[in-house]
Amino acid sequence: MRTLPRFLLTLAPVAMAALGSACGNGDELQPEDHTPVSYNVLINDVAVSPPYTFVAGQTARVRIKFFNAAGEDLDSEETGHFAGLTFNPVALATAVRLNDHHYQFDVTGGTAGAGTVQVGYGHEDVADETVFDPVPVNVTTSGGGNPL
């Protein structure tokens, strides 16, 4: 009878280690591993800085690269996490997330003008667990600004 409890106690640390290394139900057990503190933006595979520029009526591929506090790239977490893009005003552009790449979007320029885009990250497709400050974005009627 004493052997069984001792056996179970030896398994407890292994089980806790397994739980500590995974995400579960929106609760990060080790948030420093999977929580982004910064990101980079690539438009059509070219690294860009704000203000981001899109052309009205044209679609560009936008990829978000997230990094945790240790500077580690979080691309390996893409299958269980989502990025989000929110444009303000809404008519500025539309972003459609790719089904097989949660950190990539097809962004189509809408109404020409200036506004902001806000990047989000999370376990659900609303990507609202980590929300970064809005950054400037422009939509033009012709090319210019960031390489598209």
Same-domain check for residues 62 and 132? yes
* 125 residue type, one letter: D
Domain containing 13: what range? 1-34
What are the tens digits of pLDDT across the range 66-103? 999 999 999 999 989 999 999 999 999 999 999 999 99
Backbone angles phi, psi at 75, to 5 degrees: -60, -30
Same-domain check for residues 99 and 39? yes
Residues 6+ apart with CB under 8 A from 96: 105, 106, 107, 108
In the DSSP assignment, the letter for residue 134 is P
**Residue 14 forms part of a structural domain:** yes
What are the tens digits of pLDDT across the range 44-63? 999 999 999 999 999 999 99
Q: Write down the pTM of the prediction.
A: 0.76
* The pLDDT value given to residue 142: 80
> In the block, which residue shows the tokens 């997330």?
97
Contact assessment for residue 31 and residue 86, using Cβ atoms and an 8 Å cutoff: no
